[in-house]
């Protein structure tokens, strides 16, 4: 593991906003998310037979879509064989992430066993109601949950302790660096607007998705990108940890722009590999949206600093 750590964070009084943002993320998680439990796992729709039937009905739904909308679906969806139960099970899981299907499934007329379909629609209605009661749905951002407040709440919400600790580790180190470089006001602007840019990037890549996105990673990506172009020092300190054995952890000074291949380009590569927006539960498109904002804002900050330093 390696993290950029340009500032000595032990002097915490120099970074009041960074610590405030960290505390706010932790407080919201402990207060709201740490004890949450999902009731969706007991739904008949998520059992193998339920997913297979969902996939079969989604197959009918896809066939009824206009050709231009079908063309926007991933290639593997269009190639699913209607007689292959294993493929239909995978398709069923994908169907529950398609907002077009989710919003119309209870009213759509499907062909097949009428009794079986009627029971499925009843189970689906229950599943949808429970899904909308989930805390992550209420605080997250998705194509079906994108009211203005969701663009802000998702930035301070996390799905589990590992997710939270991963984000705040970066936020502590890179937030302190940005606050020292640009001030508390700009840190807050980059964090919030970077989160907005990340949300925009995510929704563009997952236009019909139902899975909500939560986390501060888009905001952190914006801070990383901002810092790597706004910082004029060629080398900064990085912390590394391989193991607790002597000599396998510590600090080292490396090029500032190493942030790009270590963190930012990785997100771009993963986005190309997972065009639906999520890969392994990670919203890489949101990271990329935050990164683009951070790079542009960093270039603007650097240009403004040069003009101030060299008045005409």
What confidence score (pLDDT) does residue 298 get? 94
For tokens 């009627």, what's the residue? 118
CB-based contacts of 252, cutoff 8 Å, min separation 6: 237, 238, 240
Query: Quick one: tokens of 154?
Result: 């998702």
Measured between alpha carbons, how far is 312 from 160 in angstroms, rounded to an integer? 52
Q: Which of 153, 121, 145, 132 is nearest to 45 (CA)?
A: 121
What confidence score (pLDDT) does residue 265 get? 76
Q: Where are the domains of the chain?
A: 2-36+141-309, 40-133
Tens place of pLDDT per residue across the chain (312 aa): 788 888 888 888 889 999 999 999 999 999 988 776 666 667 888 889 999 999 999 999 998 888 888 887 877 787 888 788 888 998 998 999 898 999 888 888 899 889 999 999 999 999 988 888 888 888 999 988 888 999 999 999 998 899 999 999 999 999 999 999 999 999 999 999 999 999 999 998 888 888 899 999 999 999 999 999 998 888 988 888 888 887 778 888 988 888 888 877 777 776 666 655 444 567 888 999 999 999 999 999 988 875 554 454
What confidence score (pLDDT) does residue 40 get? 66
Measured between alpha carbons, how far is 293 from 34 in angstroms, rounded to an integer? 31
- The CATH-assigned architecture of domain 2-36+141-309 is Up-down Bundle (1.20)
Measured between alpha carbons, how far is 254 from 258 in angstroms, rounded to an integer? 7
What confidence score (pLDDT) does residue 207 get? 83
What confidence score (pLDDT) does residue 70 get? 82
Question: What DSSP letter does each residue of 154-206 carry, written as one string?
Answer: GGG--SSHHHHHHHHHHHHHHHHHHHHHH-HHHHHHHHHHHHHHHHHHHHHH-
Q: How many CB atoms lie under 10 A from the CB of residue 204?
A: 12
What confidence score (pLDDT) does residue 58 get? 92
């Amino acid at each position: 593991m390696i993290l950029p750590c340009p500032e000595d964070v032990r002097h915490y009084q120099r970074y009041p906003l960074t610590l405030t943002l960290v505390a706010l993320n932790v407080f919201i998680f402990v207060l709201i998310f740490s004890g949450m439990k999902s009731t969706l796992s007991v739904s008949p729709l998520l059992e193998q037979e339920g997913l297979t039937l969902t996939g079969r009905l989604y197959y009918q739904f896809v066939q009824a879509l206009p050709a231009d909308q079908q063309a926007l679906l991933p290639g593997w969806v269009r190639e699913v064989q209607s007689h292959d139960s294993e493929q239909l099970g995978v398709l069923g899981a994908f169907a529950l992430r398609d907002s077009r299907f989710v919003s119309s499934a209870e009213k759509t007329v499907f062909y097949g066993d009428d009794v079986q379909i009627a029971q499925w629609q009843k189970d689906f209605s229950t599943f949808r109601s429970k899904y909308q009661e989930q805390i992550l749905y209420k605080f997250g951002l998705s194509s079906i949950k994108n009211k203005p407040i969701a663009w802000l709440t998702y930035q301070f919400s996390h799905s589990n302790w590992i997710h939270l600790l991963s984000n705040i580790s970066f936020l502590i180190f890179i937030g302190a660096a940005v606050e020292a470089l640009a001030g508390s006001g700009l840190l807050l602007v980059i964090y919030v607007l970077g989160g907005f840019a990340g949300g925009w990037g995510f929704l563009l890549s997952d236009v019909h998705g139902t899975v909500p996105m939560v986390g501060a990673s888009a905001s952190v990506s914006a801070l990383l990108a901002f810092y790597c172009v706004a910082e004029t020092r060629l080398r900064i300190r990085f912390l590394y940890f391989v193991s607790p054995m002597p000599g396998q952890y510590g600090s080292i000074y490396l090029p500032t722009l190493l942030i790009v291949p270590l963190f930012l380009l990785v997100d771009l590569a993963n986005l190309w590999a997972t065009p639906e927006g999520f890969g392994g539960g990670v919203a890489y498109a949101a990271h990329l949206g935050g990164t683009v904002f951070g790079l542009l804002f960093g270039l603007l900050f650097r240009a403004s600093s040069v003009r101030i330093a060299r008045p005409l």
